[in-house]
Amino acid sequence: MKLSLDLKATLTQSLTPQQILYLKMLQYTSIQFEQFIQSELEQNPMLEDAGNPDDAFDFEEESEQVVSPKTEEYDEYDENYSENSITPDPYYAHDDDRQVKSDFNEDNDPFDMYSMIWQDTSEMARSSNDAYSEDDEPGFQIKAVTSLEEDLAEQLNLIKLNEEEKILGIHIIGNIDSDGYLRRPLDEIIDEVNSYIAETNFNIQHKEYLKRQADKEKEEKNPAKNYSLSEESQKLLENANKLKGDDFAFDKIDKSFMNFNINQYELKILMPVNPETAEKVLAIIQSLDPPGIASRNVQECLLAQCKSFMDPTPAQLLATRIINEGYEPFIKKHYQVLIRRLGVSEQEIKDAIEVIKRLNPKPGGGDSPSELNTIIPDFVVHRDEDTDELIISMNDSRMPNLKLSKAYEHLQREAELNNYNKETKNWIRGKREDAKFLIQAIKQRKSTMIKVMTAITMRQKDFFYIGKNGLKPLIYKDIAEETGIDISTVCRIVNGKYVQTDFGTYELKFFFSESLIADDGQDVSTIIIKDKVKELINNEPKDKPYSDEIISKMLKEHGFNVARRTVAKYREQLKIPVARLRIEL
């Protein structure tokens, strides 16, 4: 072995923190970007919301005037960054009129900057609030949305249960998924509840022990207790007086003293729960509204809903039998097996299946409340009525309009007059640089996104005029080459973004698809072929649905040369089951 020193030159590329932040900004959706801007407004005192675009402060045109520094330390700071020096406020022009200097010294820190700015802004907020009269209309009220868990807990409280059953019920409700199913094993919930009960009992006993100790100490400190009669002696005296009367009766004697030794500190101790209690409470929860809630599988969910029918019809009774006795052949659509097993006619089975179709397989309502599922488009593309041209705009009306805060000038004056240390001055300068970069990055983000959306619109121009039939094959590489933007940046912009059109709101991914050569030699978007497959399946005979092989032959008749395996792939992407599971009576 031999040790040696080598000198080698390499070329590497690394991203700066600003570049990484800019790439993240491109990936944000409109809601995420709005939250990001609000967060930056809260964290950086050099930023403020202009409110009106006309009032925005352009830092590039800011008139700056150099002031001769008054300290040696500020001189060094000013040489490094002289553009930040501005004319001090006239209020500080004369030493006699100057306010008492703040307590900032060599130990000051950036948090003091925030406290100063917060004080100024709070005073402005109070003055602005005073400007409103009592006759002003109140702001919009946000509708209170009761969650499924809260609704079930309120219903459970109306049912007469003991303390242990209520605790168990709350734990079961807390483990219900958003779609309404209880997928956690019941024995795990029982163990969790029993652990909670054991901990609660311990806390009760410990609290009672401390109370007894306190009572005992009070009794020991009271000397009158040594000369007072006990409650037992008082009862004996009362009974002795009753014996003197002529109308003596034994049943009138207070015999409570006989049981006086019973523990006067009786505690309410919770008992552990068992599987039988858990099944009982679970059945109660499943009977709450909506029916089928807290079910452990689809069969249990549908059966609970069938049992909730009031005055069930024959079709509803048969639907209950199908789910209870013939669930396996039902999900496999083996209707002839059901007819033989249940001894009913085909029409009766058909009526019962219509009842089952109206049941809700997701009693919880889905992943989130409907109020939270609204899509806010990032772009808007519409046709101009006069020129028939496509108008492309970015939906940024909700975004705060950032500008550099005037607080920077105030902090500069404070830094000059109060001789801030170098660390604080660098912090002020760093926050200003971050604010300047963010404002520029927002402008660059908007420009880049508009450029990509424009390229997509021009490539899919026919879609914005005639709809889905005008879609053409398009891949990310085509947009990257047309705009001169890296393909990874195009992917960041397209992912999770939506555009509002005259034909509806679509995700940008919708406009990208592979191509397929038709019989006439033209490239056709696979989206058009998928729509054709969906159309053929929707129009197929319900008692004898088309197989993938038949659909492939029918597509060839329309000029699309698509293999059977490709049809199967498109059908799976459309989440359409195989022909056997599409059979209807």
Assess contact for 432 and 416: CB atoms under 8 A.
no
Please state whether the peptide bond connecting residue 90 to the residue before it is cis, i.e. omega within 30 degrees of 0.
no
What pLDDT shows up at residue 260? 35
- The span from the CA of 408 to the CA of 465, in Å, is 50
**Two tokens at 495?**
């992912």
- The span from the CA of 423 to the CA of 134, in Å, is 47
Assess contact for 380 and 499: CB atoms under 8 A.
yes
What pLDDT shows up at residue 95? 42
- Going by their DSSP bridges, the two strands 515-517 and 523-525 should be labelled as antiparallel
Q: What is the amino acid identity at position 468?
A: K
CA distances from 250 to 110, 242, 254, 255, 259 (A): 86, 9, 9, 10, 17
Stretches where the chain sits below pLDDT 70 are: 1, 12-14, 51-145, 219-267, 366-373, 407, 409, 415-418, 518-523
Sequence-ordered alpha helix ranges (H) in 222-325: 231-243, 275-286, 298-307, 314-325
Assess contact for 417 and 88: CB atoms under 8 A.
yes
- Burial (Cβ within 10 Å: 0-12, 13-18, ≥19) of residue 441: middle
What pLDDT shows up at residue 542? 82
Partner residues linked to 500 by β-bridges: 380, 505
- The span from the CA of 313 to the CA of 402, in Å, is 64
What pLDDT shows up at residue 168? 92
Cβ neighbors of 260 (< 8 A, separation 6 or more) are: 231, 232, 235
- Other Cβ atoms within 10 Å of 366 Cβ, number: 11
* Long-range contacts, 47-50 (Cβ 8 Å, 24+): 47/402, 47/403, 47/404, 47/405, 47/435, 47/438, 47/439, 48/402, 48/403, 48/404, 48/405, 48/406, 48/407, 49/400, 49/401, 49/402, 49/403, 50/400, 50/401, 50/402, 50/403
CA distances from 194 to 174, 277, 285 (A): 16, 12, 19
- Other Cβ atoms within 10 Å of 359 Cβ, number: 18
What pLDDT shows up at residue 68? 34
What pLDDT shows up at residue 172? 92
Half-sphere exposure of 417 (CA within 13 A, CB side): 21
pTM: 0.53
- The span from the CA of 59 to the CA of 53, in Å, is 14
- The span from the CA of 204 to the CA of 210, in Å, is 10
- The span from the CA of 321 to the CA of 352, in Å, is 9
- The span from the CA of 523 to the CA of 472, in Å, is 8
Cα–Cα nearest to 56, from 534, 549, 399? 399
